[in-house]
């Protein structure tokens, strides 16, 4: 499981010119799954994400978590995180988990974030999404489990 964490001032995702998810200050996540991912991986990364101290305190030091700033999450499914570009010029996505299995894990991941008390907005799994956000910092962190 791979998650790209991006601190943002605001973020939104549109499908067919309709906003389907939108947040103000918080984190935008790009989330991908591979074979062998399970609830244990999800639990680890959910805990890591909500407690990651990447927001500024009053001294401008990244010392606060998402909880401490009452931030939100925009979660976007992203199978291309598992692109293999080692051969040729066209990426292979053979390492990305198939849609049916991945959507179940993605739904579980988002529900577990919500269970932590976080406001979570999402895109639409498998849709052609347009993501618009302002990366704050910029702060971008890649997590993998």
**pTM for this prediction:** 0.95
Catalytic residue of the set 6, 14, 34, 78: 78
End-to-end CA separation in angstroms for the chain:
5
Per-residue model confidence as pLDDT tens digits over 46-98: 999 999 999 999 999 999 999 999 999 999 999 999 999 999 999 999 999 99
DSSP 76-107: EE-GGGG-B-SSSSSPB-TTBPPHHHHHHHHH
Which pLDDT value is given to residue 99? 87
Q: What residue spans of 4-134 are helical by DSSP H?
A: 39-51, 99-115
Domain residue ranges of the chain, discontinuous segments joined by +: 2-144
C-alpha 144/C-alpha 87 separation (Å) is: 23
- Those residues whose C-beta lies under 8 Å from the C-beta of residue 113, and which sit 6 or more positions away, are 46, 49, 50, 73, 75, 120
Q: In this prediction, what percent of the chain has a pLDDT beyond 70?
A: 100
Catalytic residue of the set 55, 79, 109, 133: 79
Which pLDDT value is given to residue 145? 93
Please state which architecture CATH assigns to domain 2-144.
3-Layer(bba) Sandwich (3.50)
- Extract the tokens encoding 98: 């198939």
Is residue 79 flagged as an active site residue?
A: yes
Angle at 4 between CA 84 and CA 111, to 5 degrees: 115
């Amino acid at each position: 499981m791979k998650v790209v964490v991006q601190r943002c001032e605001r973020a939104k995702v549109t499908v067919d010119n309709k906003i389907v998810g939108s947040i103000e200050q918080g984190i935008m996540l790009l989330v991908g799954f591979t074979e062998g991912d399970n609830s244990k991986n999800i639990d680890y990364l959910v805990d890591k994400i909500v407690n990651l101290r990447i927001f500024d305190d009053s001294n401008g030091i990244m010392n606060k978590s998402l909880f401490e700033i009452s931030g939100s999450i925009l979660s976007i499914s992203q199978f291309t995180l598992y692109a293999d570009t080692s051969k040729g010029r066209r990426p292979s996505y053979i390492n990305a988990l198939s849609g049916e299995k991945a959507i179940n894990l993605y739904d579980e991941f988002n529900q577990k974030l919500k269970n932590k008390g976080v406001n979570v907005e999402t895109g639409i799994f498998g849709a052609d999404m347009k993501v618009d956000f302002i990366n704050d910092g910029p702060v971008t962190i890649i997590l993998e489990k």
